[in-house]
Structure 1
C-alpha cells in the first residue's frame, strides 16, 4: 500500500498530466471521440399525463400518480425493461400529482402533492400495502425529495400557487419525527433534485421575485449547509433530473416566465459536481415540462410531461455514448479517455455516519463493483450490505476477512487511483 506522501505525489502527477492533456486538446481543437449519445422511444405510458413521478426499485420503474388537464390520478404502474411492458401495480390512497417520492429500504415515501395536502404515505411494493407516517408540518407540493443516510429530506415547494418555500425538513423513519433543517439560499417550487456521493443537488424551479431559476444548490448533510454552485445555461422549472456516472442530467422543463402551462423545452444539460461545470447533451425528441426521469441500467428513462397544455404519454430512453466527457464506468471523470493516466488500483476511503473512516487498497474492478452496488441501492434495488475484501489487511490465521458496509451507514466515499 502506498504511503500518504506517495498518494499525494500520485494525485499531483495525475492532476498535472490531465492539465497538460486538456491544454493540448483545447489548443488543437481536435475532436477525438465521436458523439454517440442516443435517445430512443420505448413503450408509451398507459395514459397522457404530466406531474407524474418515476422511481426505480429492483430493476423495474414505477410511475406514480400524475395529472391530465384538470384531473389527478391515483394509479401506480410498473414498467419491466426486459418485457417492455407496463402493468398496473396498485393505487394511491388518494389521487395525487406534483410529488417527488423517494425510496428507502424497498419502500416508497410520498409527501403531500396536489391536490395540496400534508400526508405522508408509505408504500410497500412487495406487500402492495400502504401505511401512514407522521404528517408533514404543512401542506406542500412541487418540492424536491431525497433519502440521505436513512432520512428523508423534503426541500422547497409551495403551499399555494403564489408562493415558493426555502424551508427544508428531515423525516426520520425510525422515530417518525420531522425536523427543520438549514433553509435554501433561494426559495423555489417546481424544482428537482438528485443525490451524488452523499450530497443533495437542487436544480432550477421558479419563485415569485426572480422568476424562472437556473441556479443549483448543494446540500452537505454532515454540516447542514447549502452552497450555491454554477448555474444552468437556461432557467427552467418543472424539469426532471437523473444521475449517470456521478454526473447530473437536467432534462426538459418549462421556460416561459409568464405562465405555468408552457412552453416546454427539449434541452438537456449535464453537470459535473467535481468540476462545477455544465455541458450540453443531445436534446430529447419531445419538448416538454412537468416530466419525470429515473436512471436504470446505465440509461435514463423520461416519462410524460406537457407542452402548452398538450399532454404526452411518451416514454423515452437516453443511453450515453463516449464523447470524451463522460466516464465509461462510475468513478472519476475522464476514465473513458485512453490517454488519461488512470491507475489500475485505488485507495478507497469510506466515511461512516459515525465519523469513522475505513480505508481499503483495492483493484479498480473492486472499486467499480462497490460503486455500482451503492448506486443501485441508492436507486432502491440491491442488498442492504456489501462485503469488501480486506486483502493485505488480512491478519491472523484466516482464509479471508471481509468488512461489511451497511448502505444507510455510509456518509461519503473517496477514491484515489494509483498504478502499482
Structure 2
C-alpha cells in the first residue's frame, strides 16, 4: 500500500509538471501596463520597440506617444502626436510611422520620423476617415474601409505612394466595413471582420492581391465581431478580441482568439485572452504577440498582455508544412541561400528549409515595416576556429536580392 501511494504521488507530480510546462509554453502573460486606461490605441513596432499611439477613454482622446522596451519591460513617453487621435491603424515604412485620419474625424496624413522625433504632413486622405485598416505593401500604404459617419461603413480602398505624396483609388472591398482589422502575409492583405450598416457584425474575410488589384472572399471566422485586432506569427493570422454587439461601439466584448492559415484557408482556435475587450490593438515581435488597451462596455483597460505560442511562433520544420513560409513547390529538405548585398558582395549559406523560410519571413515582415533591422543567420559548418558558434547578422537595408536553391541530402 505504501509503494502504491508513492507511485500515485510521483504520477501526480509528473502530470502537474507536464501541465505547468504546457502552460508555460502556450500562455498569456501580463506585461507592464500602459500608462493609462484607454481603447482605440494603435500599436506599431520599430527597431525592436513597441510604439503606443494616441487612444481614448470615457472623456477624451489623447495625443501621447509611449514606447515599450521588451527587454526592460518599461514604457517611456516620446513626444506627442500633432493632434489628439484615436481609432487609427498606424503603419510603418522605412522607420517612419504613417497615421491617416482618425477620431475626432479628420483626413490628415501625419508622418513621424522615429529617429529625429519629428513630424511632417503628407497630402491629406481624400475624405474624412476613421476605423479603417492599413498596411504597407511593396512600399505603398493601403488604407481600407472605415467610416466618416458612425453609421456609414466604407468599401473604399486607397493607396498612398510616399515617393510622390499622392493617393490613388484601388479596387473596392466587396463588403463595406468599419472598425475592421487587417494583416499582411506573403505580399497579400487580409481584411477581417468589422461592422456593416445592413449586415451588422461581420465574420467575413477578404484577400487583396496588389499585383492584380483584386479582392477574393475567403472562409469566414466563427464569430462575427468589430473593434477586433490582428497580428501575424509564422505567416498565420491571429484575430483577437472585439465587440459582439452591432449597436454598441465599445461593448460588450469577447476574449476569443482565432487563428487563420492563408495557405489552407482554414481557421483554428487559440487560448483566449485573460481580459475580454474590444477596440484594442496588437503587434507581433520576437515570436510573440503583444495586445494593449481596449474596453468592455463602460470599462477601460491599461492591460498589456503577451501571447507566446507553444512552438514560439514556428510550425514543425517539415518541407511543405502549410504553417510556414514555404517557397512554392518545395523540392528538397535543404537549400543554398545566396544573399547579394548592395555592395555587390555575395554571401552563401547552407541551411535547412526551415531556416531559409524563417529568413524569408523576416525579410517580408521587414519589407512590410515590422520586425528587427537585422537577422542572424547561423553559419553552421562554415564555423572556423575555436568558436562554439558563428552568426552573420544581415541588415535589411543592405540586402539587394537573394536566391534559394533547394536540394535533398
State yes or no: 1:236 paired with 2:189.
no
Alignment-derived partner of residue 181 in structure 1 = 170
Unaligned runs of 5+ in 1: 1-32, 336-340, 351-359, 390-402
Alignment-derived partner of residue 351 in structure 2 = 363
One of 293, 296, 303 as aligned partner of 2:282:
293
* Aligned-pair Cα RMSD in Å: 3.4
Unaligned runs of 5+ in 2: 1-20, 325-329, 340-347, 380-393
- Contact 1:169/1:178, CA 8 A, preserved across alignment: yes
Q: How far off is 1:258 after superposition?
A: 2.7
- Cα distance per residue 1:68-99 (max 9 Å; x no partner): 01300000000000110001011000000000
SS at match of 1:93: strand
Query: Are residues 347 and 284 of structure 1, via their aligned partners in 2, closer, same or farther at CA, if it must alter by over 3 Å?
Result: same
Query: Are residues 197 and 386 of structure 1, via their aligned partners in 2, closer, same or farther at CA, if it must alter by over 3 Å?
Result: farther
One of 73, 94, 98 as aligned partner of 2:83:
94
Find runs of 4+ consecutive structure 1 residues off by over 2 angstroms.
Answer: 33-36, 322-335, 341-344, 346-350, 360-387, 403-410, 413-420
Give the aligned length. 359
- Cα distance per residue 1:327-359 (max 9 Å; x no partner): 579984367xxxxx9953148899xxxxxxxxx
State yes or no: 1:206 paired with 2:198.
no
SS at match of 1:371: helix
Alignment-derived partner of residue 195 in structure 1 = 184
- Cα distance per residue 1:192-249 (max 9 Å; x no partner): 0111110000000001010000000000000000000000000000001000000000
Equivalent-residue separation in structure 2 for 1:414 and 1:248 (angstroms):
27
Query: Are residues 406 and 232 of structure 1, via their aligned partners in 2, closer, same or farther at CA, if it must alter by over 3 Å?
Result: same
- Contact 1:168/1:183, CA 8 A, preserved across alignment: yes
Query: Are residues 382 and 318 of structure 1, via their aligned partners in 2, closer, same or farther at CA, if it must alter by over 3 Å?
Result: closer
State yes or no: 1:223 paired with 2:217.
no
Alignment-derived partner of residue 126 in structure 1 = 115
Q: How far off is 1:375 after superposition?
A: 2.3
Q: How far off is 1:379 after superposition?
A: 4.0
> Structure 2 length as normaliser, TM-score?
0.80
Alignment-derived partner of residue 6 in structure 1 = none
SS at match of 1:68: coil
Q: How far off is 1:255 after superposition?
A: 0.7
One of 254, 257, 274 as aligned partner of 2:246:
257
- Cα distance per residue 1:223-282 (max 9 Å; x no partner): 000000000000000001000000000000001123222111000000000000000000
- Contact 2:138/2:368, CA 8 A, preserved across alignment: no
SS at match of 1:375: helix
